[in-house]
Amino acid sequence: MAGQDCLAANEWICGEFVRTRSQELVDASVEHLWITAASVAAGVLLALPLALLARRWRAAATPVLGVTTVLYTIPSLALFSLLVPVFGISASVVVTGLTLYSLTILVRNFLAGLDAVPEDAREAARGMGYGPIRLLWEVELPLAMPAVMAGVRIATVATVSLTTVGSIIGYGGLGNLIKEGMQSFFKAEVLTASVICVVFALVADLLLLGVQRLLTPWARAAKAAG
């Protein structure tokens, strides 16, 4: 059988591998996707109050941005290892680590987006009797949306790719297969898992671009008019 041959010959591309291990590939993909989604979602939920805090009290902006910048000099390998004593060997370690990393991008972009809201728009909304929450929700956030979504897209793509490092504690989604394949020099396993991972990142980026278009219909109208 040609299919069996490619496994025996340890070829890079092997249909037989995909057929016989499809369940494993699906399980790893599901783990990969939920770890990524949970991390980015937690990152967005944390980044918004942090950005608002940094904007409200300018004195807080420097420490907030400083801490999130120092975070990215801590290697993922070390950060995951450091969180193990806190959570034990569990997916929480990877999700927490990835959330912290996503903050470096998200807080910066959220703050840039909020800073770019024209003061006139704020004044107009206040004049129309908008309270602070309604102002934020109906005026500032929609106007900050391009920068916010750019941040979410970068953070998501980076998180998809960084999830693989979670394999050092066994919660790396497709990274688990990459690491397993490394230990047994199993080419098809390494390549298949890597390719799926890249495809996930690119598809997620395109989906979020679609969401961004839906959320900012005026941007397209302006471009068409200009």
Task: Give me the helices (H) in 119-186, please.
Answer: 119-127, 132-135, 141-162, 174-183
Whole-number minimum distance, CB 198 to another protein, in Å?
Answer: 5
Size of interface with another protein, in residues (CB under 8 A): 50
State which H helix or E strand residue 10 sits in. Answer: none
Q: Are 92 and 57 in contact (CB under 8 A)?
A: no
Per the CB < 8 A criterion, the answer to whether 143 and 218 are in contact is no
Scanning 43-51, 53-61, 67-75, 132-140 for contacts with another protein by CB under 8 A, the matching segment is 67-75
Instruction: Return the number of the residue (130 or 186) whose C-beta is nearest another protein.
Output: 186
Cβ 119 to another protein, closest distance in Å?
20
Closest CA to 40 of 214, 176, 219, 201: 201
Transcribe 177-206 into DSSP letters: HHHHHHHTT-HHHHHHHHHHHHHHHHHHHH
**Residue among 78, 128, 207, 222 that touches another protein (CB under 8 A):** 78
- Segment 142 to 171, residues that bind another protein, using CB under 8 A: 147, 150-151, 154, 157-162, 164-165, 167-168
Q: Pick from 11, 60, 72, 142: which binds another protein (CB under 8 A)?
A: 72
Could you give the CA distance from residue 84 to residue 206 in angstroms, rounded to a whole number?
34
CB closer to another protein out of 53 and 150: 150
- In the complex, the smallest distance separating the C-beta of residue 151 from another protein, rounded to whole angstroms, is 7
**Segment 3-62, which members bind another protein (CB under 8 A)?**
none
Select from 40, 35, 20, 18 the least CA-distant residue to 195. Answer: 18
Contact status: 209 vs another protein (CB under 8 A):
no
Indicate the length of the chain as a whole number: 226
Question: Which one of the spans 65-73, 119-127, 138-146, 213-221 is the region binding another protein (CB under 8 A)?
Answer: 65-73
Closer to another protein by Cβ: residue 66 or 131: 66
Q: How far is the CB of 196 from another protein (least distance, A)?
A: 10
Geometric angle at alpha carbon 84, from 82 and 88, rounded to 5°: 165
- Distance, in Å, from the CA atom of 130 to the CA atom of 124, rounded to the nearest integer, reads 9
Binding site for another protein (CB under 8 A): 70, 72-79, 81-82, 84-85, 101, 104-105, 108-109, 112, 147, 150-151, 154, 157-162, 164-165, 167-168, 175, 178-179, 181-182, 185-187, 190-191, 193-194, 197-198, 201-202, 205
